[in-house]
Amino acid sequence: MRLPKAILHKLTGGRIAQACLNRNAIISQRMMGIGAGAGVLNSGEAAVFPLLPRQSSEPLVVFDVGSNRGQFLNLARKSLAGRDFHIHCFEPGRKTFESLSSQATDSRVTLNNVAVGNCEESRTLYYDRCGSGMASLTKRELKHRGIQFDQFEEVSVTTIDRYCETHGIQGIDLLKLDIEGHELDALKGAEKTFSQNAIRFVTFEMGGCNIDTRTFFRDFWNFFTDQKMTLHRITPSGSLIEIRRYKETHEQFRTTNFVAIRQDR
């Protein structure tokens, strides 16, 4: 096997061959969901809704944390049509929240102009433009993409635990997190709710923003393993690929969606 490997390495060492290999790797990973999670319509996230319980005396409770302009909200309402539900939306940006408010007039939707984190506090929200889907509590470094996070505003931060206590919410059927690298903070702010086994499904995004916040897939793996939840990668086709053990190859910083599932749901 040594000779064929040596020949193969030599044949693929040139610039053109390397470019082809890189392109093939990107395409292959995209079909796995790695780098395919930026848009809710093509990310496969809709596959989670049919998994939500159908026999329940209470409305399904969905938390849309990082609502932006209502992309996931619209997907949720469409996917849950004909079912009893209530969606709680969280969007800290003032202008973005105004845009969200203009279309979310459904009585089954509660809008909150706050960020979600691991403690109640005031923080600075940074963004490149009003309404940006990349707005983050971390000032991101994206000069290589020609993007400057030179706009900001002060926002209030709450926790999932505090919100549930204040609003008398006993359980969350689906917790969706898309808060640009601060998903782990939101999870830590829900530890009491998790300890009560009160969250069935969690969908979250991981990508380039996690480079800026220095959070890794291993952090999520450890968190959900401690919660006795299984972790799955979502593919564009809507397949859920269970991740049975952690590997360093899971550390991919191209937008990818995952779902954590409570084992006794």
Listed in order, strand segments (DSSP E) in the chain are 60-65, 85-90, 109-112, 115-116, 121-127, 151-158, 172-177, 199-206, 229-234, 240-242, 256-262
Q: Which of 71, 21, 16, 18 is nearest to 42 (CA)?
A: 71
CA distances 132 to 126, 128, 138, Å, are 10, 7, 14
Residues 105-122 as b/e (b if ≥16 CB within 10 A, e otherwise) read eeeebebbbbbbbbeeee
- Residues 37, 205 contacting (CB under 8 angstroms): yes
Indicate whether 225 pLDDT > 90. Answer: yes
pLDDT for 53 equals 83
Q: In the structure, what pLDDT confidence band is assigned to residue 228 with cuts at 50, 70 and 90? A: very high
The rounded mean pLDDT for the chain is 93
Indicate whether 57 pLDDT > 90. Answer: no
Q: In the structure, what pLDDT confidence band is assigned to residue 234 with cuts at 50, 70 and 90? A: very high
Q: In the structure, what pLDDT confidence band is assigned to residue 88 with cuts at 50, 70 and 90? A: very high
CATH 3.40.50.150 fits 37-115+159-262, yes or no: yes
pLDDT for 10 equals 84
Say whether 212 sits in a helix, a strand or coil. helix
Nearest 5°: phi and psi at 19?
A: -65, -40
Indicate whether 37 pLDDT > 80. Answer: no
Q: What percentage of the chain carries pLDDT values higher than 90?
A: 84
Indicate whether 1 pLDDT > 60. Answer: no
- Residues 64, 89 contacting (CB under 8 angstroms): yes
Alpha carbons 136 and 161: distance in angstroms, whole number: 21
- For the stretch 94-106, pLDDT in tens is 999 999 999 888 8
pLDDT for 231 equals 98
Q: In the structure, what pLDDT confidence band is assigned to residue 55 with cuts at 50, 70 and 90? A: low
Q: Which of 190, 196, 156 is nearest to 176 (CA)?
A: 190
More confident residue, 132 or 37: 132
Cβ neighbours around 61 below 10 Å, total? 22
Q: Of 37-41, 60-64, 84-88, 190-194, which range is least confident?
A: 37-41
pLDDT for 11 equals 85
Q: What is the pTM of this model?
A: 0.93
